Structures are given as C-alpha cells and as structure tokens.
Structure 1
C-alpha cells in the first residue's frame, strides 16, 4: 500500500463542511494536478466553471433537488464537456465544424470525467472532502443558461469541495471478483453476486453510525436508475451540438 492507494480505498462522499475557505493558490494547484489525467488524443475537451455567485449556487442547489451542500461548500465547480476549442482547431485546419458525432461526445465526456476524478482524489489526499453532484442534470438547460455555456459545451456534474465537518462510514464496494471477468463476460453469476452483495449492504445500512435504514444495493440501485431517467437529456444535448450522428 502507498498513500495514493490508501486515498482511493478511503473515498467517502462528504456533504458537511466547515466554514474554512480553500486558498485560491491551492485550488489552482489541485486543478493543475488534475489536468495530468489521460485525455483522448490529447484534445483536453473540458472546462470548469467555478461558481461563487450566491444566487447561482442557491438556484443550482434547488435544481439539483435541494442539495444544500452546493451552497455551503467552500468551492463548487461545474464540470463541463467542452468541444469549443476542438471545433476552433478543426475549422482553422480547414476540416470544418464538428458534426455532433457520438464519438466526440464520448471523448469529451470521458476527458472531463477523468480530470474530475483526478481533482477529487488530489483534494482528498490533502484532507479536503468532496462529493459529485449529478443532480445538476435535473434541469441542465437552466444550469447552462445561468453559467453562460455556449453550444458544444454541456454540464456533466458538479463538484463540492471543502474541509470536512463530518466523517461518514465507508461503504463497502462490490468485491473485485464480481466486477473482474476472465477473457469473456460471465453473466451466469449475476444473481448470486447481487444477492451476496445485497446481504452485505443491508448489514452495512443497519450498522452504520448515522442514517441507519433497512435497505440493500438492489433496492437503492433500481430506485436510482428508474426514477432518474432524465429523458430530457437527449434533446438538450442535441440542441447543444452533441449526439447528432
């Protein structure tokens, strides 16, 4: 084990923060380090919006489903897939505007996500707490309007950063042997794997220090995906120049 591996294993979503600010130079350093993440063909198709305006934070917190930590975190960043610079390069090189190809959408989304995970890990390595906010996709059009996002840019998720004021229990992840397949995918073990993990998660939910409940992974997962379909996302993305072909 080394500090990086230990930090990866210790990740917890932090939603309660002290009033202590994050020094601007430290934030800049964390972002610079996050940029060391892998990038598809080195296109670096992402941008961050640092949201400091109180009214914007309140509105985004409300749009995200009343997530008050968006307001209370020392820093709130919106992670965006951004193809504006890529399109500029394409036009300057005589190759024309982007055509909304699905591949470009995937490349920009993964670029931004790799960078954001690096940013979270770096922040956690120095004692900061963080949580991603997927709830901004509840109404991405309003978020985009408030942040003045142009076409070829869309908000993927938010990121709260701050000094922790509470330490939640560590959730057990799926066992490695469940997610790791040898040479070919083995779908025959799905039922057994899920049932075993359900039992583990139910015991966790009932024994943790706070917010105890009677539930399991299947229940939580099914509810999360079936009640958060966000069917507006396709038309929103297409209006922004993504996923047209």
Structure 2
C-alpha cells in the first residue's frame, strides 16, 4: 500500500472504539498527537482551542458521571477534552488595552470549527499509531460542572471529549448517508432526496438489527426524529453566556 492509499484507508476506516486494552499511551505519542493536531486549518490563524489531557482516575470518573455515565470515559487509558478557547485572546486585548469584540456569532463559529478540526486531526493521528478512540459530545451535558472540574477560565467552552487507547474491539463500520444525499453540483439538489433517505434508512436499520448487543433497532430516520424532537442541553446557552459570550 503506497502513501496515498494508506491515507485514504485511514480516513475511510473510521470506527468509534469504546473498549480498550489495559495498555498505557506513551507521552511521546501524545506529544506527537498534539503536534499533528496543531497543524489543522485555523480561520485567520486564530487557533481558538486548548486540549486538556486527563489520566487521573478520579477525574475520569467524575467526567464519566457528568457526561451521562458513559463507562468508557473512566475505563480508557487517557481522556482528552477539546476546549474552544478565547481566553488567551482576551488577555492579549487587555494587555494591549484594545477592545475585545468577542460577542459576534462569527467568533463562536470560528472557535467551534477550529476546535473540531483540531480534534479530527488528533484522532486521525492517533489511529495512525494503532490507537482508537471515540468523541464524546456528552462533555456538554453539564458544561458548567465540567468547567469547574477542569478550572476553565472565562471565554472557554468544552466542545468535545475523546477517549483514546489501544482498541480491544473491532466493531463493524456504521454506514453513512448515500453520496447523492450529501453531494451537490453547482446548486443544492432536491431531486431524489426522499428516495435516497428511504434507502439509507433501510440500510441503517439492517445494520442495527445485525449488530451484536445493539440497543437500537430503528433506522436513521426515526433516530433523527427522536433526536430533534426534544430540547437538548437546555442549560448550555446560559453557561456560554456566563463564560462571556453574549452573542449578537
């Protein structure tokens, strides 16, 4: 396999890993993952993120509870929290006695995108070492408590967590939306959308029915109906405001 094929394979072989071997991840590898993550694109070179590495068992257990009791958070060798971080930018503005116009929706988007790109680079780099991982959106369930636990300063928001370790499972790959559903030429294409979603729904339903120990037995459409049919993380907006982001 040449370099081009290896990179494509790495990107196309993603699986969320939730069971890990009892094997530590070396600091040398973690240092390299951080360096790889830092080379993700960043709008205007703002670099609005920080990465917190957590090995302490008590801290992982507390985060497990705050994230909805996801057991793999406490069981993984090392857990990372990816934080949208404008605190250092506020320090720069204060030192220079310049205005700090953070309350623009654009800044929130820039910070969230920066953080997500860094996390993806980090996970891809980890997988190149034979590691596996799973991203944890539940880090936002109790964002205020997470911020207190990790001593986050103002102008920061935890965006996602990530369990990392050597895989102790090989789950089947979850199917993705059909290409015509997400790929458009020149303008947004509406033709065939309903049919393509129906086909994908059948594929996803078959996947969950086949997967061992699956708690889901419905296709993607019903899952999305359930997801968007209720208010989620209602406290998050207040926390973001309290952290200094009064969006305009």
Larger CA deviation: 221-230 vs 127-136: 221-230
Structure 2 spans left out of the alignment, 5+ residues: none
The aligned residue for residue 57 of structure 2 is 54
The aligned residue for residue 172 of structure 2 is 169
Q: Distance in 2 between matches of 1:100 and 1:53?
A: 35
The aligned residue for residue 231 of structure 1 is 234
Larger CA deviation: 178-187 vs 163-172: 178-187
Distance 1:17 1:228, change over 3 A: farther
Alignment of 1:84-233 (within 5 A): 84-211=87-214, 214-227=217-230, 229-233=232-236
Q: Distance in 2 between matches of 1:65 and 1:212?
A: 16
Report the Cα offset of residue 16 of structure 1: 0.2
The aligned residue for residue 12 of structure 1 is 15
Give the TM-score normalised by the residue count of structure 1: 0.94
Q: Distance in 2 between matches of 1:148 and 1:208?
A: 40
Structure 1 spans left out of the alignment, 5+ residues: none
Give the TM-score normalised by the residue count of structure 2: 0.93
Distance 1:80 1:29, change over 3 A: same
Q: Distance in 2 between matches of 1:185 and 1:243?
A: 33
Say how many residue pairs are matched: 245
RMSD value over aligned CA atoms? 1.7
**SS of the counterpart of 1:20?**
coil
